[in-house]
Amino acid sequence: MPNSAPEIKRAMLDAVGVPAADELYGSIPGRLRFPGLLDLPEPLRSEYELRRHVTGVLDRNESAAERLSFLGGGCWPHYVPAVCDEIVNRGEFLTAYYGDTYGDHGKLQALFEYASMIGELVECDAVSQPTYDWGAAAATSICMAARITGRRVALVPASIGAQRRSLIEGYCRPWVEIVTIPFDSGTGVLALERIRDALSPQTACVYLEVPGFLGVIETQAEEIATLSREAGALQIVGVDPISLGVLEAPPRYGADIVCGELQPLGIHMHYGGGLAGFVASPDTERFVSEYPTFLIGLGPTVMEGEYAFGEVVWERTSYVQRGDSKEYAGTTQNLWAIAAGAYLGLVGPQGLAELGHTIASRARYAATRLNGLPGVRAPALSAPFFKEFVVDFNESGASVAEINLALRQRGIFGGLDLSAEYPELGQSALFCVTEVHTKADIDRLADELAEVL
């Protein structure tokens, strides 16, 4: 660093009136201060050396673009059309921020179009600007339900995945008590009687996912929504939007609030990202007034026939409420809303239906192929599934960790190891199959697994 030159350091110390740098750290206890010198490598003295070093580190990566990957569990391998990349990399959009109503009209219109298409997809009239991911969207939805109902308990499935559950519990803890509902380890669906027993006058909402983290389609969704309504609670449904080409929109089976993940809609996998969640609901004041995130709406201008785009009910946001805010919203993931809008506009309703059928049929073919291997049971959960399914290796004599290591040595990323997170499933893994997996890819996985086992 330029200021590390001895003469510059001396001048700085003289300016603040101390003889040595150690006196600046006197308030830090000695036990917390590192003695001696750090064992640092030789400095990189040129841009070329730095580039060579960083390239060497990056070359150690094994990416899903270079390997055959069947990993999912919240970030999935979907094809991203080139037009999505072209649009989000335009200078007008490539920023985390947007300007005011008058200075950034084009981006506000793009965000409005995104919200309109998501709203059409999930059959809701109000759609938020993106949250950080599905977990953040679910947590916000639960907090909204608690404020709407004036209640403080939420029922959440045990099958939603540890990271999402941890995020929900951590975010909601000050306001909402999270009660976990077990699932049937044979079918994957929720235990209906346990929901009925857990519902009380304090229950704000029941949260479920269709399809869930384990790929299972909750076949009792309508019955669960009826139970929620009878108890005076709201029904929240988390959804993978790419499944809605073949599955019904959640409000059709009783959802009051819908949330989910945008990553399947034209967003690449980036070191476990890029993720973005959405929240949708009816556009009545009861729901809209509880959104902490921005809502972009359509309005008239002084010119007849023209439309303007801007924030809706701005006074409800933390930017106005400040210390009295119900929740806080920041920059979040607006760029991914642009990508999702471009994707939905390009694919269209018919394309989304074809995509859904393709994913469902290829996932079914993969489960059938794997189920034919000795010591393997697929799908391990008997309920219908979409895109992801659990594979049981308990009778194979090998652990998921051993299997995945052997597959990786053959250029394949196997399924997500569930053995630690779901001990009731034993040595099981979650495999993901999407439109990017061909029949040849699936056959290769089955053949390599046969050799590994």
How far is it, in rounded angstroms, from Cα 155 to Cα 280? 19
Q: Provide the CATH topology of domain 68-77+349-452.
A: Aspartate Aminotransferase, domain 1 (3.90.1150)
Tens place of pLDDT per residue across the chain (453 aa)? 567 788 899 999 999 999 988 888 888 998 998 888 888 888 898 999 999 999 999 999 888 888 999 999 999 999 999 999 999 999 888 876 766 666 778 888 999 999 999 999 999 999 998 999 999 999 999 999 999 999 999 999 999 999 999 999 999 998 899 999 999 999 999 999 999 999 999 999 999 999 999 999 999 999 999 999 999 999 999 999 999 999 999 999 999 999 999 999 999 998 767 899 999 999 999 999 898 888 888 888 888 888 888 888 877 776 776 777 777 777 778 899 999 999 999 999 999 999 999 999 999 999 999 999 999 999 999 999 999 999 999 999 999 999 999 999 999 999 999 999 999 999 999 999 999 999 999 999 999 999 998
Burial 316-344 (b: 16+ CB within 10 A, else e): bbbeeeeeeebbebeebbbbbbbbbbbbb
pLDDT at 311: 83
Return the closest-CA partner of residue 263 out of 255, 273, 253.
Answer: 273
How far is it, in rounded angstroms, from Cα 336 to Cα 87? 11
pLDDT at 2: 64
How far is it, in rounded angstroms, from Cα 122 to Cα 228? 20
pLDDT at 107: 87
How far is it, in rounded angstroms, from Cα 108 to Cα 297? 9
Report whether 320 contacts 156 (CB < 8 A): no
Report whether 425 contacts 185 (CB < 8 A): yes
Beta-carbon count within 10 A of 172 CB:
21
Same-fold call for 68-77+349-452 versus 82-343: no
pLDDT at 194: 95
Report whether 124 contacts 280 (CB < 8 A): yes
Domains of the chain by residue range: 68-77+349-452, 82-343
pLDDT at 101: 65
How far is it, in rounded angstroms, from Cα 440 to Cα 12? 67
pLDDT at 102: 66
Its pTM stands at 0.87
H/E stretch holding 299 reads strand 296-300
H/E stretch holding 309 reads strand 307-311
As its CATH architecture, domain 82-343 has: 3-Layer(aba) Sandwich (3.40)
